[in-house]
Chains A and B, each alone.
Chain A
């Protein structure tokens, strides 16, 4: 018997504050007005996507001691904009990135439980960690957390938040006007947590929400991050959108679940993916080249080279050859508030490799950054893109994708109009929502049930 086709999960990432987002395009709208968020969310819901995804950053990035000004700068508060989006959508899941370092469990648990109530069970939390004193300067506590403790804090933060969500059982609110009993149990919401990072007790004040707990996402890629996801997340926002690396990541993470007593279908793998559509594959390829040139201006190319060189390169010509000087190797980095720079563990070796690449291909600085940076994941006619996405998912390289359009707010519209119908025709993507909560869309069990909604319905 052949394996049944997997259903694809699709989500939409609101364009972020990095050079993927092309703000210079004439079609690019506001990144802060609510109309942009509402348009984007409505498109995602029209396309029957699982959820919308919002990233977060708690300090504006700097480079060379100055606020980085070449990308989109400025974004809204995650919780507040998601609560407002709940008013203009009915089914779409609402996923927000919230930092576990610069927040406290009681407040975050209140906010997610409230968002879940206010959206009728559509909330999700992408749990991220940071430790840097740079971001800490915006907060009362400052940069208090050693790097090696960030996952232990995140794990304990999530565990504590779960204790708060669980402190109210279902059916605790009786609101019985005849007998005058509002609460079933005087101790509803009682909790005690004593641990390395949190020592708190008292009474939680938001009753159990429709999903019981928000859906939990994790995005870190380190061994610790993968283990954190395997132990307690419902989904991973991953970065592996290539077929081979995607399959390796998928197998690795799903393989870690058994030791936590979890099944492979209890953790979804959803890589970020960009796309460029055209009427033909050739037209899309040409468009993709143009988009890359928009994403990497000469000025942007120099700044990206500085991520590796860790020194001021403003005197160089972006259309000229790579610098002869070697990168500065130092704990102090020219770029602050950007996780990406930590990936360059041996900058001198990378510089050598890039110089060779540039010489062999006759690339300028800008050409090099365009060609080595994040190229679009899916480029082609709608048929080709639909086929690639389906092949990728059926090959167990992911369970679906979190799509990152490069134009705000209309960049998702062509995908919704042209690719989604093809996936629906192939029977690998829902023609309409079957449930009301995000857990329903993702096929995840309600924490009170022990079985996914579909299984409950079947039994």
Chain B
């Protein structure tokens, strides 16, 4: 199969951690290790990312949204007993970039309400300030209240997720996100790598034949280009997206370098991988590398009983059992390593772990799980590349416009 990426060691798994506030469990902020009062400081985020880098992880993602967090899927709530409020994810990533050296930094961006021109130069700049470690995780927003924060469009309330109206709305938002990513990617390529010439003889700073209008015209918007920011160090920073069903799988297959999926067992993983690989082929990308990472929410302790007890305690504090899209794992690092190996055998190339409590489960990942995987020969023992694409075994892509210009000659 040509679509799985080349990795430096084919036995190695890839690992990322998803950072979100004090952790993914809504009561995580109540834990003594949680530091909820520091959530809006740079120091908190610097410490989280340093811990992940200590574990030699491929990258961290930063959750984000254009409205307050909510216990409800598509509307705000009025709760005061959970973490509400967050800092802009791109800026948090940029703030920690100079403090880290190897780990990839992947903030969330919302395609529905943002300008692809701004997002493209922001992620390109993140790639510059991190010298080649930037990516993005693209998402849509179907929340009517978030649309009202912008006042540029109205998004109807989804009553039943499987109704034709809901499917059409989500389909449109995902098509728009695919166009958004297409513009972001074209803008990254709108400068050829050697466009800056500094030719003293003719007084030209750039060779303008190596800058390109992208002339994107789509169903939802058009963008002229070129970018104001030169092509970033990785050429194309990493594009990632999360999907739970066919329509988002299609976005992953069309536009992403890496997709996050949420199988609850290896059988489901196999089916999802097959579906996305088929979509990838249908999109004409069969030969291109596309990572598929499994998302898991993790409670890691020295015994399965301790992890389960911690989960129960947090559920009790929250007033209800926490359920989410991803499988919830409770157990030891060795048991998690077993599970990851099973999932990997089903075709997943890596994992994005969501720490239930960041202050507890993130160090368990970096200090327990990683050594366990290393003992099994399934994880790197030192960073082997300087860029995020390099860590993931992805080549630096040729520039689409340079390639076109070369063909035309």
Contact = CB atoms under 8 A, between A and B. Distances in A.
B250 to A, nearest CB: 23
A255 B144 CA distance: 46
Interface string B56-95: 0000000001111100000010111111111110111011
Contacts of B152: 104, 141
B97 A120 contact: no
B54 to A, nearest CB: 18
Given A34-B128, A137-B224, A88 B98 contact: yes
B224 A117 contact: no
A57 interface: yes
Given A83-B94, A177-B30, A138 B80 contact: no
Interface string B106-150: 000000011111100110111011010000000000000110111
A267 B149 CA distance: 31
Contact of B95 (A38, A59, A66, A84): A84
B208 A66 contact: yes
Given A138-B225, A186-B79, A189-B68, A200 B94 contact: no
A354 interface: no
B188 to A, nearest CB: 12
Given A81-B125, A138-B117, A188-B84, 16 more contacts: A32-B230, A34-B128, A34-B129, A57-B228, A73-B205, A74-B191, A86-B95, A103-B118, A104-B113, A118-B92, A120-B42, A177-B29, A182-B81, A183-B85, A202-B67, A202-B145
B224 A205 contact: no
Given A87-B97, A138-B225, A182-B83, A80 B66 contact: no
A445 B300 CA distance: 48
A139 B117 contact: yes
Looking at B29, B32, B94, B223, the one whose CB has the most chain A CB atoms below 10 A away is B94
A436 to B, nearest CB: 13
B226 interface: yes
Interface string A88-115: 1000000000000011101100110111
Looking at B41, B83, B98, B207, the one whose CB has the most chain A CB atoms below 10 A away is B98
A71 B205 contact: yes
Contacts of A87: 42, 46, 95-99
B203 interface: yes
B36 A76 contact: no
24 contacts: A66-B208, A69-B204, A70-B204, A70-B205, A73-B205, A74-B196, A76-B229, A80-B122, A83-B92, A83-B95, A84-B129, A87-B97, A104-B150, A113-B87, A114-B87, A117-B40, A119-B42, A137-B223, A139-B223, A173-B39, A181-B80, A186-B79, A202-B148, A203-B76
Q: Lowest 7 A-B CB distances belong to which pairs? A: A84-B129, A83-B94, A137-B224, A175-B36, A80-B125, A114-B88, A186-B78
Interface of B: 29-32, 34, 36-37, 39-42, 46, 65-69, 76, 78-88, 90-92, 94-99, 113-118, 121-122, 124-126, 128-129, 131, 145-146, 148-152, 191, 196, 198, 200, 202-208, 211, 220-226, 228-230, 317
A207 B131 CA distance: 31
Given A118-B87, A183-B84, A77 B148 contact: no
B390 to A, nearest CB: 18
Contacts of B207: 69
Contacts, number: 236
Contacts of A287: none
A3 interface: no
Interface range on chain A (Cβ under 8 Å from partner): 35 or more
A161 B232 CA distance: 31
Contact of A183 (B80, B115, B204, B211): B80
Contacts of A104: 113, 150-152
B150 A175 contact: no
A57 B117 CA distance: 12
A138 B198 contact: no
A23 interface: yes
A162 interface: no
B86 A115 contact: no
Contacts of B31: 177
Interface string A56-84: 01111000001101111111110111011
A201 interface: yes
Interface in A333-368: none
Interface in A164-194: 168, 173, 175, 177, 180-189
Interface in A28-57: 32-34, 38, 57
A316 interface: no
Given A80-B125, A117-B41, A140-B221, A175 B29 contact: yes
Contacts of B126: 80
Contacts of B117: 58, 138-139
Nearest to A21: B205
A118 B228 contact: no
A331 interface: no
Contacts of A118: 41-42, 87, 91-92, 95
B90 A84 contact: no
Contacts of A299: 202-203
Contacts of A298: 203
Contacts of A71: 205
A181 B79 CA distance: 9
Given A23-B198, A177-B36, A188-B84, A114 B92 contact: yes
Contacts of B148: 200-202
A142 B115 CA distance: 11
Contact of A106 (B42, B116, B149): B149
Contacts of B30: 177, 180
Contacts of A188: 84-85
A416 interface: no
Contacts of A207: 40, 85
A88 B80 CA distance: 35
A198 B208 contact: no
A107 B228 contact: no
Contacts of B121: 76-77, 80
A114 B151 CA distance: 22
A399 to B, nearest CB: 29
Contacts of A272: none
Contact of A205 (B67, B220, B317): B67
A206 interface: yes
Nearest to A72: B205
